[in-house]
Amino acid sequence: MKAIIFTEYGPPEVLQLKEVEKPVPKDNEILIRIYATSVNYGDTLARNFKEITPGKFNMPFLLWFFAKIYFGFRKPKITILGSEFAGEIQSAGKEVRSFKQGDQVFGYLGQNMGAYAEYLCMPENGCVAIKPTNMTYEEAAVVPYGAIMALNLLGKVNIQPGQKVLVNGASGGIGGAAVQIARYFGAEVTGVCSTPGLELVKSLGADSAIDYTQEDFTQNGETYDLIFDVLGKSSFSRCKSSLSQNGRYLLASFKMKQLFQMLWTSMIGSKRVICAIAPGSKEDLISVKELIEAEKIKAVIDRRYPLEQIAEAHRYVEKGHKKGHVVITVEHKQNLINQEELK
C-alpha cells in the first residue's frame, strides 16, 4: 500500500511517499481503507520533534520527556503520522462484533498515529465509530481531534446556559470546535482570532468575535464566566480582571507555572485556573458523532491536498494560522479502476 513515511525528524520534505506492506488485522481488529485524513498541530510537532526543546513544547517538562521517549530522541519510532481519519472497513477480525465489512467509519488515533496511509488496522474498541450520516469522508476525517479535545476540556468546567464564554484561538481545530460546543451548551460565546478568521468564527455560531491584532480582550472591560485559551497565549494575571466572580480560566496548553496556579487557585480565591489533558476516547467520539448528526458541529475545510502533496500541507499548517482544518485525500487504485469502468 501507499503510505507517507518519515525516518528522520526534520522539515516537511522528510515526508516521503513509499510502498509499504499492507497491515493485516488481528482477531479483535478492523482493517480500514482510508479515504481522508488531516494535518493538525500534533502531526507537525511529531515530524519535527528533534527541534522541539522543553521551552518550545506547550506542556510541562515531564510530558516533554515522556513524549521524547515515546516518539524517539534521535529518530522517529513512529514512522507514519496522521491522527484522524475517515474510511471504510475492508475486513474485520473474527472476534469483531460491532463493525462489519463495508461500514463507513471515522476515528481518532491520538499519539498512536498511522493515518497517512491507504490502510490502517485498529482494535474495534479503539476510538473509532460509524461515520456521521451527514458528513462526507473529507469532513468526517477532520473533526475528531478538535471536537474530542474541545468536548472533553469544556466538560471539566460545566458550562451553564447563559454563561459568557471566551475562546482564545477560536479559528483553529480545537478553538473552532469549542465555539460550537459552548454554543450548544447555551453559552454566549466570544471568539478571539486574527482578522482573516473573524467571519469563520461568527459562522461557527460565536455571538461576537474579537480581532487580537486590533483589540486586547483583557482590556475591553468585559467579563466572562469562562476564558478558554487553546494555545496559552494569554496569562491568568492578565485575564483575572476579565473573569466573573467565580470565573474559570481553562488552558489546553500549559507549563508548570500554570499547574501551580491551578493548585493555588483551588485553595484560595473564587477564580480558578484549570489545566487539563484530553486523552481521546470512544465515548467522546460517539458524543461528537451525535453532535454532528444533530447539526451542532460542522467541519470547516480550509484547504485540501492529495496524500502525495502532504509536505505542502505540513508547510501550510506549520505557519500556525490555518482556518479550521486541512484535509488530505487518499485516492485508491481500486477507485480509479472503478471510475474507468464507469466511463
Ligand X SMILES: NC(=O)c1ccc[n+]([C@@H]2O[C@H](COP(=O)([O-])OP(=O)(O)OC[C@H]3O[C@@H](n4cnc5c(N)ncnc54)[C@H](OP(=O)(O)O)[C@@H]3O)[C@@H](O)[C@H]2O)c1
Residues at the contact surface with ligand X, assessed by CB under 6 A: 40-41, 58, 146, 149, 168-169, 171-175, 192-194, 197, 212, 230-231, 233, 252-253, 276-278, 320-322
Per the CB < 8 A criterion, the answer to whether 38 and 141 are in contact is yes
Burial of 7 (0-12, 13-18, 19+ CB in 10 A): exposed
C-beta of 16 vs 235, nearer to ligand X: 235
Shortest distance, position 294 Cβ to ligand X, whole Å: 22
Name, in order, each residue with C-beta under 8 angstroms of 112's C-beta and a sequence gap of 6 or more.
78, 83
Shortest distance, position 253 Cβ to ligand X, whole Å: 4
Per the CB < 8 A criterion, the answer to whether 1 and 22 are in contact is yes
Element at 17 (helix H, strand E): strand 16-19
Shortest distance, position 200 Cβ to ligand X, whole Å: 9
C-beta of 89 vs 151, nearer to ligand X: 151
Residue with the shortest CB distance to ligand X: 172
C-beta of 165 vs 193, nearer to ligand X: 193
Alpha carbon distance 224, 239 (integer Å): 10
Shortest distance, position 194 Cβ to ligand X, whole Å: 3
Shortest distance, position 237 Cβ to ligand X, whole Å: 17
**Residue with cell string 520527556:** 65
Q: Name the phi and psi angles at 27, rounded to 5.
A: -60, -35
Q: Which grid cell sits at 69? A: 521517549
Q: Which grid cell sits at 106? A: 471515522
